[in-house]
């Protein structure tokens, strides 16, 4: 089972700060799972370049709304 992460965002947090936090979480979780960027990209169905962008905080992944 994958560990649960609670989305905690402090008040007055900018979108840029949230993006940097997301990049840290993504990189950390990928490393915990022992995956390379290429392996994560393949599993997620995106190009490895996109994973690099997410981890650098250059772009945010889009999640489908429910």
| The model's pTM | 0.66
pLDDT given for residue 48 in this prediction: 96
pLDDT (tens digit per residue) in 38-54: 999 999 999 999 999 99
Q: Which of 34, 53, 50 is nearest to 42 (CA)?
A: 50
What is the DSSP code string of 11-43? TT--HHHHHHHHHHHHHHHHHHTT--HHHHHHH
pLDDT (tens digit per residue) in 6-29: 444 455 556 556 556 889 999 999
The C-alpha atoms of residue 5 and residue 17 are separated, in whole angstroms, by 17
pLDDT given for residue 12 in this prediction: 56
pLDDT given for residue 42 in this prediction: 97
Q: Which two tokens stand for residue 2?
A: 């994958």
């Amino acid at each position: 089972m994958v560990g649960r992460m609670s989305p905690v965002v402090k008040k007055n947090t900018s979108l840029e700060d949230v993006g940097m936090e997301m990049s840290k979480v993504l990189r950390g979780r990928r490393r915990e799972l022992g995956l390379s960027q290429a392996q994560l990209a393949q599993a997620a169905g995106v190009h490895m370049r996109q994973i690099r962008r997410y981890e650098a905080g250059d772009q945010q992944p889009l999640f489908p709304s429910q």
